[in-house]
Structure 1
Amino acid sequence: MFLSQGLLTWTLLLSVLAGSVSALQTVNGAVGGSVYLTVDLTLPTPENLQAVWRFNTNSLIVSLSPGNPIIYTATYQERCELLPDLTLRLDKLTLADQGDYTLTVSDLAIGNETTVTVYLAVYKPITITPNLKSNTSSPANGSIVSLHCDAPDQTVETYTFYRNQVNACSQSRVTCAGSNLTFHPIIASDKGNYTCTIQNPINNKTSDPFPLLVTGHPKESIKCSAIGNNQNVHLLCSWADGNPPANINMSFNTSIQSGLNEVVKYVPLNTVYSSEKLVCHGAQGGLEVSCALTLEKPYAADFTNYSTTPVEEGNSVTLTVTLTGNTVGINSRALIPKVQILPANFTWFHLNPNPTPVPEGVKFSAISTPSTSNLTVSTVTESENGTYECRAENMFGSTHFFFIMHVTAGPIPPPSNGLGPGEIAGIVIGVLAGLAIIGIVVFFIVKGNKKKAKAQSVGLNGSGDQIGTTEYAVINRNRTNGGIAETSITDIPQDNKDDVQYAALRFQNQESVKPIIPTVPETEYSTVKNTLQK
């Protein structure tokens, strides 16, 4: 803290003793010219004024003291002058005069001294006009191109580039560095007249305009067109916006016309016959293209009249007519596109049975271009059934295109609460599983009955706890034999016969433990005869 206060005290003391020091100012001068080194000071009275001008602090130029004449040093004797306000004029400047010039003014009455420094910058004047040139003679669209502002042996501080008198360095694709302007890349819209201006503090010079042409093919395809009114037909072949310009040839009705970028021809409408051909050929930058136009009424090569278009009720349908060119008789080297067509106007009708214009609205919507028309019918009902006509018209006539719309009943929608596909599949699987279980149960029941029937057919049981088979004895009273009874054995009683009595006989198996099951059961019959006494 004490150190900083001490430095501040010494600074103030030196300022008082030495006087004030003004800020540095700069003056520009040209080689061979003159400058005035002017200072803004409050001067002492002449009797107390002492002044000295120095160059680079040590070379004395001129001095002034009270009662004495102005003294110039030998180096500046012939080319400088000290004016009454202490302004120093320097003449015949050279590059060696560039540097610091210091004026020291003393007030002898109070012992105060003031110092002012002026910096002199000496430049050579720009004496030649810069030359703006490109690094390529044919800048191609999409390539990197540079422009150079050439100014040899000139003292230049700034370079500025202009396109059509507007600063050319403001675009993001353009960079300006020193004497060069670079396109990253150049595009067709960069064409124009370019200039560069070189400048130093003394003067400036601007180059002559440099026409920059960007080479490239036209963006659009070659165009063949014909526009007519009641009297004339305006024929046009056009392929513009290329650099260099395209050479165009128009061929119509045995005559050929040529031009750059486009060719125009007017012919009376009554001299143009239907199906005449307009052919345009263009050549530019090594590329050749052609187009052809048939002057005829609207034509659609792939259209079939009265074709049926089925549509269900509630759906939407779109009817379309697309015009095509007629290629018959056209012979050209390169057709790109092959054929162009005349624009047409389209009108839609519904035949009920007379043609009635289709109303525009939510139900009907017609959208057309010069070569295509679409009629969309929304939410079709039975009333839209029938024939529709699209009428296309141009300067050479009109063509009628017919459609038959066949409206059919829509499918019956399923009930809203019906079973879904998953539910139906589950039911089917459940039914099949139930049938399989029933089949297995029936199989075992039948199998058990068969075993039981085989056992009963024997009629004997091998053990005491087994019950034998019940057999029946059939007793017939034979009336013809005088009442003699005839007895027979059977397994099944016969209830539908008269005069038949049955006796149940049970037999026990006394011999075998296991039942004897014959492979084929046999039925035996025994007859018991009783003789009745007469």
Structure 2
Amino acid sequence: MESPSASAHRGLVPWQGLLLAISLLTFWSPPTTAQLAIVPTNAAEGKDVLLRIRNKPPDAVVFLWYRGEGARSHRNIASIVVDLRVHALGPAYSGREKVNSDGSMLLKRVTRKDTGYYTIVAHLRDSKKEIGFGRLRVYQPVRVPTLLASNTTVMEHKDSVVLTCYTNAVSTQWFFNGMNLRLTERMKLSWNNRTLTIDPVRREDAGNYQCEVSNPISSTESVPVELDVKY
């Protein structure tokens, strides 16, 4: 069986062992002002993401990362003793995380289950510590939306038309003949902007309609649907 000293030599120790290393470098004390923070980050599902920190204390000797809000031991992901380059893995480690000496954490092949808040604790040389929080949001790249019309050939002043944009995106915008659609008193959008109703139609409504969908990491647009208005 390999000795603990051999494991530490390679820069990896059990997370319980890191607590002893911390105690040799700093004593526990209440958190100082919450100036340390994790940069809010949006990421595409399946990609690697680097969770960065801002206002990093220059005299930090240990960084510890946790899932969720709060430094609870059972949610500890991984840690690093900066000067010794010693890494430790916590109970919440999934095999995809790595804490860097600058305090950032690399998270590989993110999934939507990784969405949520994270906590970082920095232990300082002056026997104090700072704690910071931040949120990671993981999104699926948006798929090309499908735009369908209840009818593509209508009579002026008599008929109405309903255009529906089918999408998995969080945001929807409408275009008419390649320009942003300017709503009139005869046009109505649904609460999620995915359905456009024109009632009644007029000849000036004839043309090409498109919906553009997006989320914080991607966007795409539908194939145009042409509306023909008879009069």
| 8 Å CA contact 2:147, 2:163 repeated in 1 | yes
Match of 1:54 in 2: 66
2:43 matches 1:29? yes
Distance 1:38 1:25 in 2: 6
Aligned match of 1:516: none
Letter in structure 1 aligned against 2:99: L
Identical aligned residues as a percent: 24
| Paired letter, 1:50 | V
Write the distance in 2 (CA, Å) between the matches of 1:28 and 1:94.
12
1:422 maps to none
- In 2, distance between residues paired with 1:63 and 1:116? 15
Contact 2:63 2:80 in 1 (8 A): yes
Query: Please, which of 111, 116, 120 is the counterpart of residue 94 of structure 1?
Result: 111
Show CA shifts across 1:57-99 (max 9, x none): 3311111235361113375463222223111111111111111
TM-score w.r.t. structure 1 length? 0.34
1:210 and 2:225 correspond: yes
Question: 2:134 maps to what in 1?
Answer: 118
AA matched with 2:206 = K
Deviation at 1:169, TM superposition (A): 4.0
CA 42–150 in structure 1, closer or farther in 2 if over 3 Å, else same: closer
Cα-to-partner distance string for 1:17-55 (whole Å, 9 max, x where unaligned): 42121467521112111211111124344xx61211100
| Cα RMSD after superposing both structures | 2.2
Q: Give the C-alpha shift of residue 166 in structure 1.
A: 1.1
Cα distance between partner residues in 2 of 1:115 and 1:18: 6
The corresponding residue for 2:211 is 196
Q: Which amino acid is the alignment partner of residue 204 of structure 2?
A: S
Using the alignment, how far apart are the partners of 2:45 and 2:55 within structure 1? 28
Distance 1:77 1:193 in 2: 49
Structure scoring higher RCO (CA < 8 A, sep ≥ 6) equals: 2
Aligned residues: 194
CA distance in 1, matches of 2:92, 2:131: 23
Matched, 1:172 2:179: no
Structure 2: tracts of 5 or more residues without a match: 1-28
Q: Deviations over 1:100-122 (max 9, x none)?
A: 11111121x32222111110111
Displacement of 1:193 after TM fit?
Answer: 1.0
Aligned residue for 2:122? 105
Checking the alignment, whether the CA contact within 8 Å between 1:20 and 1:113 is kept in structure 2 is no
Q: Within 2, Cα distance between the matches of 1:37 and 1:198?
A: 27
Q: Distance in 2 between matches of 1:69 and 1:24?
A: 22
Larger radius of gyration: 1
Q: Distance in 2 between matches of 1:75 and 1:113?
A: 22
Asked whether the 8 Å contact 1:169–1:175 carries over to 2, the reply is: no
Q: Report the 3-state secondary structure (helix = DSSP H, G, I; strand = E; otherwise coil) of the residue aligned with 1:96.
A: helix
- Residue 197 of structure 2 corresponds to 182
Residue in 2 that maps onto 1:41 = 55
1:149/1:69 Cα in 2 relative to 1: closer, same or farther (>3 Å)? same
